[in-house]
Amino acid sequence: MSLILDFAQSLQDSGFGTALAESRYAFPLVEAAHLLGLSISVGLIFLTDLRLIGRFLTNVPIPVVLRQLRPWVLSGFAVTFISGVLLFIAEGATVVISPAFPAKFVFIALAGLNALYFELRLARLAPVVEHQAVLPVGVRYAGLASIGLWTATIIAGRLIPYLPG
């Protein structure tokens, strides 16, 4: 843990880290980019999950939803990831001591594993590919797990300033 803290502290103390943290416009804009990137990536994932559990756009086949939204989800993630790295450079040592910070990464990892399992296994099953009326029950569970894990990620992220170490 102290290794991560030392690393975060050295980034925060670097010229770039200090300049970014003290910048009047850049820092709030990076914060805003993190939020907007999240709204596009996780926002569209939420809509996809609602489709998986049968509560949204049920007449659009799941493979169509996945294929057509994927580039936007990934673009949103790129914005969220890059802005997240910049935020860590600017204030990493301040946030890394919060227990909500590692919790956020645990939830992201679990959400990622769930997405991977869905894409590599469930999305390739015949009933999903062929847009059949009855889908394997795992599809619904994967959607619910995704909603739960991404909600937990957002809650943990928002709690970082409220839960100091």
Partner 1 sequence: MSLTLDILNAIQHSVVGQSIAKSDHLVGATAQIFHVLGFIILLAAVVLTSLRLLGHGLTDRTAQQISRETNRLLWLGLASAVISGIVMFFSAVELYYFNPAFKLKIVLLLAAVVLQILWFRKVLAQETPNAQLARSSAVFSLLLWFGVGIAGRSIGFV
| Residue ranges that bind partner 1, judged by CB under 8 A | 24, 27-29, 31-32, 35-36, 38-40, 42-44, 46-47, 56-57, 59-60, 64-65, 68-69, 72, 151, 154-155, 158-159, 162
Q: How far is the CB of 48 from partner 1 (least distance, A)?
A: 10
Residue 109 or residue 155: which is nearer to partner 1 going by CB?
A: 155
**CA nearest neighbour of 4 among 110, 109, 81, 105:** 105
Please report how the helices 15-22 and 62-95 are oriented relative to each other, as an axis angle in degrees rounded to 10.
Answer: 100
Nearer to partner 1 by C-beta: 11 or 38? 38
Q: How far is the CB of 7 from partner 1 (least distance, A)?
A: 25
- Between 25 and 126, name the residue whose CB sits nearer to partner 1: 25
Taking CB atoms within 8 Å and a gap of at least 24, the contacts of 63-70 are 63/123, 63/128, 63/129, 63/131, 66/119, 66/123, 69/44
Kindly state the smallest distance separating residue 33's Cβ from partner 1, in Å. 9
Q: Which of 139, 105, 134, 111 is nearest to 124 (CA)?
A: 139
